A and B are shown apart, each in its own frame.
Chain A
Amino acid sequence: MSEICVEISGLKKSFGPLEVLKNIDLSVNRGDVVCIIGPSGSGKSTLLRCVNLLEEPNGGKITVNGTELTDPDVDIDRARTKIGMVFQGFNLFSHLNVLNNLMVAQRKVLKRSEREAREVALRNLDRVGLRDKVAAMPAQLSGGQQQRAAIARALSMDPEVMLFDEPTSALDPELVGDVLGVMRQLADEGMTMLVVTHEMQFAREVADKVIFMDGGYIVEEGPAAEVIGNPQEERTKSFLARVLDPTHHGPSDPD
């Protein structure tokens, strides 16, 4: 049952002289939800973007669904069709309506027929509760609706793993719940998910594993209840204290 879906070993990534990821090892079992938390600049988004090679690693090995992405001869476009990604800024194609946003890659990349692509798109719009928005342009949707449409777009490729890069950070607070609801439903259906998030409640309730990153390292990882409920590392404790109870702490001490 614990088949490995994502396997990362010795991953390194630098931007110029700045070392953002320093030797990351991580494995994600099929069907698991892994939440990555940590302060800004800790490298968590970069780690996520390495999993579909939007960022080219400087070292280490990444294997997703049995395909080694870091192999220079890999067909990365083909591999990416099985890795769905949801961005902080939604990134719906602004010149296409919702239906075409969901259909364009199915048609052009997977070469699905018009009919099949439409059926898959409509089914996934149903999943995220946007069936009535098929003809809307992205600019006509609220942030929450855009993000749900973006999730449906990624799902339309039938991915084996979904990456979420701070999916609710750009949303008005009252719209966050809709998107988290869709993600929770996806997790319940058994989707393998890597989620970079600041939503501790979501991580605590949905994640099978929580990873706390700081300074380009994985500082602490384990079941959600342990990492968030009973952190062992000092850095995890102080981060969680600031996130969970921001009004009751002074400015953080530089360390």
Chain B
Amino acid sequence: MALSRRKRAQYIRYVQYGVLIVVVLLVAFLADWGQIRRAFLNPEIAASMFPNVITVALKNTIVYTALGFGFGLALGLVLALMKLSSVAPYRWIATVYIEFFRGVPALLVFIGIYYGVPIAFQMQFPPLTTVMLALGGVGAAYMAETIRAGLQAVPKGQVEAARSLGMSSGRAMITIVIPQAFRIILPPLTNELILLTKDSSLIYILGLFREQYELTKFGRETLSRSPSLTPILIAGLCYLIITLPLGYLSRYLEKRTGGKKVSVV
């Protein structure tokens, strides 16, 4: 006898729960928990990382990310304005920049700036500057497209009202359009900040002093002196301390702005 649709849906749900229970039990019984704990959760090693993992590594990750984000935002705004410029060469330059830095791995950009700039220009940036240029340079390419979409999402009537009050187009851009655009793109910008936080780990390729270590470098360095992956887990959890609240903030902002859709092409 054929099952009714409701009965069949119920039956499929039972099967799904059944599979889940079987998998959980298999993992629980087959995994060597002692070994896993030794590999990932060695309390002594974890304890030995504190307080430096917070006071040095986490702090540096935040500082590097903030520097990169600040520079990236400024450069991204300039690129976005260039992309909307009526002067064609500006649009071309912005397009080339954006396509290049979005298209190549961030790691290559870091290497290029760290090793390439000293050779090409006979000068060496201090590490913080390198970090800011590399992180911000890559971030700007992504943010430029977001900002451009935000600038275009500001209703035309706002500019017309500003112009009718005697504002020049530049003044209207600064006083009216840009502030409104940033309100619109706050949620996607928060996402860019999360991506940038994770990209700050690429700094590990730069030659840094111990007090300049950020989370990934710090975790790897501790790892090289310990028989356990605990440092990596701790470093990972520290990233979550930053990224989870940001993710929550982004979703909150999105809800508050009424989920206004901004198309980022």
Contacts and interface: CB of A to CB of B under 8 A. Distances in A.
Residue of B157, B160, B161, B171 with most chain A CB atoms under a 10 A cut-off = B161
Residue of A78, A84, A85, A91 with most chain B CB atoms under a 10 A cut-off = A91
Interface in A213-239: none
The secondary-structure label for the interface of chain B is helix
A87 B157 contact: yes
Given A93-B176, A94-B180, A95-B180, A105 B165 contact: yes
A31 to B, nearest CB: 21
B203 to A, nearest CB: 36
A108 B167 contact: yes
Nearest to A110: B166
A104 interface: yes
Contacts of B160: 54, 87, 91
A154 interface: yes
Interface in A78-135: 78, 80-81, 83-85, 87, 89, 91-95, 104-105, 108-110
A80 B157 contact: no
A87 B160 CA distance: 9
Given A54-B160, A89-B157, A105 B166 contact: yes
Contacts of A78: 166
A12 interface: no
A205 interface: no
B183 A109 contact: no
Interface residues of A, number: 25
A157 B157 contact: no
B129 interface: no
A80 B175 contact: no
Interface residues of B, number: 18
A73 interface: no
B85 interface: no
B171 A94 contact: no
Contacts of B180: 93-95
B246 to A, nearest CB: 23
B263 interface: no
Given A89-B157, A108-B171, A109-B171, A80 B183 contact: no
Interface of B: 155, 157-158, 160-168, 171, 175-176, 179-180, 183
Given A80-B165, A84-B164, A153-B165, 8 more contacts: A91-B158, A95-B179, A105-B162, A108-B171, A108-B175, A109-B171, A154-B164, A157-B165
The 5 A-B pairs at the shortest CB distance, nearest first, are namely A81-B166, A105-B165, A91-B161, A85-B164, A91-B157
